[in-house]
């Protein structure tokens, strides 16, 4: 099982750079880099809250769950959140 981060995709969709997000949130570029490359092992609620506030999004827009126990080729797809039309 695993929770994965879509920060790279979200920033790309919005044409934002990590350096601007770091300035807006006060989160270090190192911490953002781990999230951007989906290498973070943990995520503090405070950081998640600051990201959501700065990006005007919900936690589900940044994170998604993959049931890795099922294994590849079993027909199970990643459960990514559907894009909501506003």
Confidence of residue 76 (pLDDT cuts 50, 70, 90): very low
> Once rounded to an integer, what is the mean pLDDT over residues 7-22?
96
pLDDT at 40 > cutoff 70: yes
Q: Residue 74: what pLDDT? A: 46
The answer to which of 11-20, 48-57, 68-77 has the lowest mean pLDDT is: 68-77
On whether the pTM is more than 0.85, the answer is: no
**Secondary structure letter of residue 79 according to DSSP:** B
Q: Are 11 and 21 in contact (CB under 8 A)?
A: yes
Question: Which residue from 55, 68, 71 is spatially nearest to 35, judged by alpha carbons?
Answer: 55
Compute the distance between CA of residue 57 and CA of residue 53 in angstroms, rounded to an integer: 7
Top pLDDT among 76 and 22 is at 22
């770091």: which residue's tokens?
Answer: 22
- Give the separation between CA 61 and CA 64, rounded to whole angstroms: 8
CATH superfamily of 2-66: lambda repressor-like DNA-binding domains (1.10.260.40)
The per-residue pLDDT for 12 is 96
């Amino acid at each position: 099982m695993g929770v994965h981060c879509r920060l790279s995709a979200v920033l790309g969709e919005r044409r934002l750079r990590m350096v601007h997000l770091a300035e807006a949130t006060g989160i270090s570029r190192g911490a953002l880099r781990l999230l951007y490359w989906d290498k973070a092992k943990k995520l503090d609620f405070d950081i998640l809250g600051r990201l959501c506030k700065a990006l005007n999004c919900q936690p589900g827009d940044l994170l998604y769950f993959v049931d890795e126990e099922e294994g590849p080729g079993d027909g199970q797809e990643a459960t990514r959140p559907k894009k909501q039309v506003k």
